[in-house]
Protein backbone atom coordinates (compact mmCIF):
# COMPACT_ATOMS: atom_id res chain seq x y z
CA UNK A 1 0.00 0.00 0.00
CA UNK A 2 2.78 2.44 0.82
CA UNK A 3 4.47 1.63 -2.50
CA UNK A 4 1.51 3.15 -4.34
CA UNK A 5 1.88 6.48 -2.57
CA UNK A 6 5.61 6.95 -3.22
CA UNK A 7 6.60 9.18 -6.11
CA UNK A 8 9.22 7.75 -8.41
CA UNK A 9 12.18 10.01 -9.26
CA UNK A 10 11.34 9.98 -12.97
CA UNK A 11 7.93 11.53 -12.27
CA UNK A 12 9.61 14.43 -10.48
CA UNK A 13 11.52 15.12 -13.70
CA UNK A 14 8.24 15.04 -15.61
CA UNK A 15 6.72 17.71 -13.39
CA UNK A 16 9.71 20.01 -13.91
CA UNK A 17 9.69 19.31 -17.64
CA UNK A 18 6.02 20.11 -18.07
CA UNK A 19 6.17 23.20 -15.86
CA UNK A 20 8.52 24.75 -18.44
CA UNK A 21 6.14 24.09 -21.35
CA UNK A 22 4.76 27.65 -21.47
CA UNK A 23 8.25 29.15 -21.78
CA UNK A 24 9.04 26.71 -24.61
CA UNK A 25 5.78 27.62 -26.39
CA UNK A 26 6.77 31.29 -26.27
CA UNK A 27 10.18 30.51 -27.74
CA UNK A 28 8.62 28.34 -30.45
CA UNK A 29 6.22 31.15 -31.34
CA UNK A 30 9.03 33.70 -31.71
CA UNK A 31 11.13 31.33 -33.80
CA UNK A 32 8.17 30.46 -36.03
CA UNK A 33 7.32 34.14 -36.52
CA UNK A 34 10.85 34.95 -37.67
CA UNK A 35 11.35 31.91 -39.90
CA UNK A 36 7.90 31.96 -41.48
CA UNK A 37 8.00 35.73 -42.05
CA UNK A 38 11.24 35.31 -43.98
CA UNK A 39 9.70 32.46 -45.98
CA UNK A 40 6.59 34.51 -46.63
CA UNK A 41 8.73 37.42 -47.86
CA UNK A 42 10.59 35.12 -50.23
CA UNK A 43 7.48 33.38 -51.56
CA UNK A 44 4.75 36.06 -51.51
CA UNK A 45 6.50 39.43 -51.25
CA UNK A 46 7.01 42.09 -48.64
CA UNK A 47 3.37 43.12 -48.08
CA UNK A 48 2.26 39.59 -47.30
CA UNK A 49 5.30 39.15 -45.06
CA UNK A 50 4.51 42.39 -43.27
CA UNK A 51 0.90 41.32 -42.80
CA UNK A 52 2.05 37.93 -41.53
CA UNK A 53 4.51 39.50 -39.09
CA UNK A 54 1.87 41.91 -37.78
CA UNK A 55 -0.59 39.03 -37.44
CA UNK A 56 2.05 37.15 -35.47
CA UNK A 57 2.59 40.16 -33.22
CA UNK A 58 -1.15 40.45 -32.58
CA UNK A 59 -1.43 36.72 -31.89
CA UNK A 60 1.56 36.78 -29.53
CA UNK A 61 0.16 39.72 -27.56
CA UNK A 62 -3.25 38.07 -27.43
CA UNK A 63 -1.67 34.86 -26.12
CA UNK A 64 0.23 36.80 -23.43
CA UNK A 65 -2.85 38.74 -22.37
CA UNK A 66 -4.96 35.59 -22.30
CA UNK A 67 -2.37 33.85 -20.14
CA UNK A 68 -2.27 36.73 -17.66
CA UNK A 69 -6.07 37.02 -17.64
CA UNK A 70 -6.48 33.34 -16.84
CA UNK A 71 -3.81 33.64 -14.16
CA UNK A 72 -5.66 36.57 -12.55
CA UNK A 73 -8.94 34.66 -12.64
CA UNK A 74 -7.29 31.62 -11.06
CA UNK A 75 -5.72 33.77 -8.35
CA UNK A 76 -9.09 35.38 -7.66
CA UNK A 77 -10.82 32.00 -7.51
CA UNK A 78 -8.26 30.62 -5.05
CA UNK A 79 -8.09 33.89 -3.06
CA UNK A 80 -4.29 33.95 -3.36
CA UNK A 81 -3.93 37.41 -4.82
CA UNK A 82 -4.95 40.81 -3.60
CA UNK A 83 -8.61 41.57 -3.96
CA UNK A 84 -9.46 42.56 -7.55
CA UNK A 85 -12.90 43.30 -8.82
CA UNK A 86 -14.42 40.75 -11.14
CA UNK A 87 -15.67 43.58 -13.32
CA UNK A 88 -12.12 44.84 -13.78
CA UNK A 89 -10.90 41.43 -14.87
CA UNK A 90 -13.76 41.03 -17.34
CA UNK A 91 -13.27 44.61 -18.63
CA UNK A 92 -9.59 43.92 -19.34
CA UNK A 93 -10.56 40.64 -20.99
CA UNK A 94 -12.98 42.42 -23.33
CA UNK A 95 -10.70 45.40 -23.88
CA UNK A 96 -8.11 43.00 -25.24
CA UNK A 97 -10.42 42.06 -28.11
CA UNK A 98 -11.30 45.69 -28.81
CA UNK A 99 -7.63 46.66 -29.02
CA UNK A 100 -6.76 43.69 -31.20
CA UNK A 101 -9.71 44.41 -33.49
CA UNK A 102 -8.64 48.06 -33.81
CA UNK A 103 -5.08 47.03 -34.65
CA UNK A 104 -6.35 44.58 -37.29
CA UNK A 105 -8.58 47.30 -38.76
CA UNK A 106 -5.67 49.73 -39.04
CA UNK A 107 -3.49 47.09 -40.65
CA UNK A 108 -6.17 46.13 -43.17
CA UNK A 109 -6.97 49.71 -44.13
CA UNK A 110 -3.28 50.66 -44.42
CA UNK A 111 -2.05 47.55 -46.20
CA UNK A 112 -4.99 45.79 -47.91
CA UNK A 113 -2.62 43.47 -49.80
CA UNK A 114 -1.53 41.90 -46.52
CA UNK A 115 -4.93 40.43 -45.60
CA UNK A 116 -4.02 36.78 -46.13
CA UNK A 117 -0.71 37.21 -44.34
CA UNK A 118 -2.46 38.84 -41.40
CA UNK A 119 -4.94 36.00 -41.04
CA UNK A 120 -2.19 33.39 -41.36
CA UNK A 121 -0.15 35.14 -38.67
CA UNK A 122 -3.06 34.97 -36.25
CA UNK A 123 -2.51 31.19 -36.10
CA UNK A 124 0.94 31.60 -34.52
CA UNK A 125 -0.08 30.18 -31.10
CA UNK A 126 -1.41 27.06 -32.83
CA UNK A 127 1.99 26.55 -34.45
CA UNK A 128 3.78 27.08 -31.14
CA UNK A 129 1.56 24.56 -29.39
CA UNK A 130 2.04 22.03 -32.20
CA UNK A 131 5.81 22.45 -31.92
CA UNK A 132 5.60 21.91 -28.16
CA UNK A 133 3.50 18.77 -28.66
CA UNK A 134 6.07 17.46 -31.15
CA UNK A 135 8.89 18.23 -28.73
CA UNK A 136 7.11 16.42 -25.91
CA UNK A 137 6.52 13.42 -28.16
CA UNK A 138 10.18 13.41 -29.16
CA UNK A 139 11.39 13.55 -25.55
CA UNK A 140 8.86 10.91 -24.58
CA UNK A 141 10.11 8.48 -27.19
CA UNK A 142 13.82 9.17 -26.68
CA UNK A 143 13.56 9.14 -22.88
CA UNK A 144 15.34 12.47 -22.42
Residue 34 pLDDT > 90: yes
d(CA 95, CA 87): 12
Name, of 36-40, 53-57, 88-92, 140-144, the range with top average pLDDT. 36-40
User: Phi and psi for 111 in degrees, rounded to 5?
Assistant: -130, 75
Question: What's the confidence (pLDDT) of residue 9?
Answer: 53
Is 114 inside a domain boundary? Answer: yes
Interval 94-125: pLDDT, tens:
887 888 788 778 877 887 777 888 888 889 99
Let me know if residue 99 belongs to a domain: yes
With respect to residue 90, please indicate whether it lies within any of the assigned structural domains: yes
Q: Which residue has the higher pLDDT, 108 or 2?
A: 108
Proportion of the chain above pLDDT 70, given as a percent = 84
Residue 98 and residue 63: Cα distance in Å, rounded?
15
Find the mean pLDDT for residues 60-76.
81
Residue 133 pLDDT: 94
Domain extent for 48: 19-142
The answer to whether residue 95 is domain-embedded is yes
The answer to whether residue 8 sits within a structural domain is no
Tell me if 84 is assigned to some domain.
yes
Q: In sequence order, what DSSP letters do the residues of 56-103 get, joined into one string?
A: HHHHHHHHHHHHHHHHHHHHHHHT-SPP--HHHHHHHHHHHHHHHHHH
Q: Would you say residue 2 has pLDDT above 70?
A: no
What mean pLDDT comes out for the span 114-141?
90
Rounded Cα distance between 121 and 33, Å, is 8
Tell me if 9 is assigned to some domain: no
Instruction: Count how many domains the chain has.
Output: 1
Q: Is residue 98 part of a domain?
A: yes
Amino acid sequence: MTDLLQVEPEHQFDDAFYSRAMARIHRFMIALAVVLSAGCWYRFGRWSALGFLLGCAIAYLNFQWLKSGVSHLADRATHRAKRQSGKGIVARFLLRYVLLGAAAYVILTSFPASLRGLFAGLFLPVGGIICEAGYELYTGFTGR
